A and B are shown apart, each in its own frame.
Chain A
Amino acid sequence: MLKYVRDLGKTGVESIQSIGRAGMLFGQSVTWGGPGSAGFLDLIKQIHSVGVRSLSIIIVAGFFVGMVLALQGYNILIKFGSVSALGTMVSLTLLRELGPVLAALLFAGRAGSALTAEIGLMKATEQLSAMEMMGVDPLKRVITPRLWAGMISVPILALLFSTVGIWGGAFVAVDMLGLYDGAYWSNMANTVEFYDDVVQGLIKAAVFGVVVTWIAVYQGYDAAPTSEGIGKATTQTVVISSLAILGLDFILTAVMLGGV
């Protein structure tokens, strides 16, 4: 019994310490400049590695999600004789919810885990220590460009996801199910608001981008420098960021809709 209480306390203290370390890491690496700081080219390289290389999975997934949405939506809406609202339904679902959430989840699995493993392995092979001993701050050199690359990439990926998804919806609705294309596009154009839908979706994506990348770089930087430790950190990145995305999505939606 006493052991149980002690373990509970230990876990609690360790979690709080971990949050503190993550906060310090974010604070120290979110600003540019410092010993041996990374340059603009490093940022471009990282955007390529985490963003551009996630394009294929984002585009394919977005297209299929759009197609499924149109197919399901068509079969529901046709019962109420309001198939012309299909374009509105697909686009709002994607822009407000599925674009940011699914893009961020895919990003966590594709790029977040890779970031964690890369940084963890650099730590395990003493590359980060060697950098420190050469008078180069690994936070500034390694973490800063990766953090920013993720924060910049996720909103762009989310927007792409939604765009491709809307095309995927049009492909199913118009080309396969024979919906009049004017109904699909003009209803969408009439109902989708730039600020309420597009911008709010982007705000969500930006928040997810910060959180996912932060979790990924922290897990890598804090990983135990063993193969087991890196494996565990990589899993943690995917699990924690997925839960964080879904939890934050509810909070952000509630705040934006103001309904709760």
Chain B
Amino acid sequence: MTNSSNHVDVKDVTFYRGSRKIYDGLNVSFPRGKITAIMGPSGTGKTTLLRMIGGQLKADSGQVMVNGDDVGRMSRADLFELRKNKMGMLFQTSGLFTDLNVFDNVAFPLRTHTDLPDDMIRDLVLMKLEAVGLRGTRDMFPAELSGGMVRRVALARSIAMDPELIMYDEPFTGLDPISMGMILRLIRGLNEALGLTSLLVSHDVEESCQIADYLCIVSGGKVIGFGTPDELKNGDNAEVRQFLNGDPDGPVPFHYPANDYRADLFAGDA
């Protein structure tokens, strides 16, 4: 299945958290230069999948290939080299350094990894901040920014080293509609302008369908649907349709498994 059109290939991955099996023989490929939204019910391990691709978690068996290299078997040095300039990740809580201002946060990877002169770093940082519309906040600290702005600064920081692959962990959670619209436009815009491969973990069906080229629906440790939003909405998998339409009952039952309701009620009288 490995070919140059796929940026990330996940092959037969099993992953346990404690004794609980999160993934059982997961197989999925993410095409290069496209936006793929990874969706699924809470607790199915979508973030875990991103962390395995980033090498922060190791699969118990199987392979996670990025650009044809198995992330799980890389040496620590190679892994840091890969993350340095091939990968970016936007965390749910943004992970901005609270003791540094906006400018220094975006400059952090550039200063750490390059020997560029200060004035060039300044230009690069201002360009990244301009791209997310926050050049005016360069002297502010993360605590002074709104949630949406913090996320945009974090986005500017994660593209500072011009990665080829960028992963977004729940980028829409807790944002007002205006900030959400800005983030949506930025993710789409960055993808088009820089040809990035973008992986997006989200619960927000409507937003994800707007910008994603492909959807990958994960449930019960497996991929239950992969395709364009239209294909999946009109597909024949009932569980995928239930998820995309947000139906409260269906193949995923509304009721947590329990014994017979009537018997349970009468049992109290005895």
Chain A residues with CB under 8 Å of chain B are: 35-36, 125-127, 129-137, 141
Contact = CB atoms under 8 A, between A and B. Distances in A.
B95 A127 contact: yes
Contact of A129 (B76, B87, B95, B97): B95
Interface string B72-88: 00001100111111011
Interface stretch (B21-29, B106-114, B190-198, B249-257): B106-114
Interface in B52-99: 54, 56, 76-77, 80-85, 87-89, 91-98
23 contacts: A35-B76, A35-B77, A36-B80, A125-B98, A126-B93, A127-B96, A127-B98, A129-B91, A132-B56, A133-B54, A133-B88, A134-B84, A134-B88, A134-B112, A134-B157, A134-B161, A135-B81, A135-B83, A135-B85, A135-B113, A135-B161, A136-B108, A136-B112
Contact of A135 (B84, B91, B97, B157): B84
A36 B113 contact: yes
Given A134-B158, A135-B83, 15 more contacts: A35-B77, A35-B80, A35-B81, A36-B113, A126-B94, A130-B91, A130-B95, A131-B95, A133-B54, A133-B158, A134-B88, A134-B112, A134-B157, A135-B80, A137-B80
B166 to A, nearest CB: 10
Nearest to A134: B109
Contacts of A125: 93, 95, 98
A135 B85 CA distance: 8
B83 A126 contact: no
A35 B77 CA distance: 7
Contact of B109 (A126, A127, A136): A136
A91 to B, nearest CB: 41
A134 B91 contact: no
Given A35-B77, A36-B112, A36-B113, A133 B98 contact: no
A114 B81 CA distance: 32
B84 A126 contact: no
B130 to A, nearest CB: 21
B83 A132 contact: yes
Contacts, number: 66
Contacts of A36: 80, 112-113
Nearest to B142: A125
B80 A126 contact: no
A133 B83 contact: yes
A130 B89 contact: yes
A133 B87 contact: yes
A141 B80 CA distance: 13
A125 B93 CA distance: 6
A141 B99 CA distance: 14
A141 B98 CA distance: 15
A126 B54 CA distance: 14
A35 B82 CA distance: 11
A135 B76 CA distance: 10
Nearest to B109: A134
Interface in B192-235: none
B90 to A, nearest CB: 9
A134 B97 CA distance: 13
A11 B31 CA distance: 46
Contacts of B108: 134, 136
B89 A133 contact: yes
A133 B82 CA distance: 9
6 closest A-B pairs (Cβ-Cβ)?
Answer: A130-B95, A135-B84, A35-B80, A126-B95, A135-B83, A133-B89
A165 B114 CA distance: 49
B118 to A, nearest CB: 15
B109 to A, nearest CB: 5
Contacts of A141: 112
Nearest to A133: B89
Contacts of A135: 80-85, 109, 113, 161
Contacts of A132: 54, 56, 83
Contacts of B93: 125-126
Contacts of B83: 132-135
Contacts of A131: 95
A35 B91 contact: no
Nearest to B167: A133
B140 to A, nearest CB: 17
A136 B161 CA distance: 13
Nearest to A125: B93
A132 B80 CA distance: 8
A35 B113 CA distance: 9
Nearest to A135: B84
Contacts of A35: 76-77, 80-81, 84
A136 B77 CA distance: 10
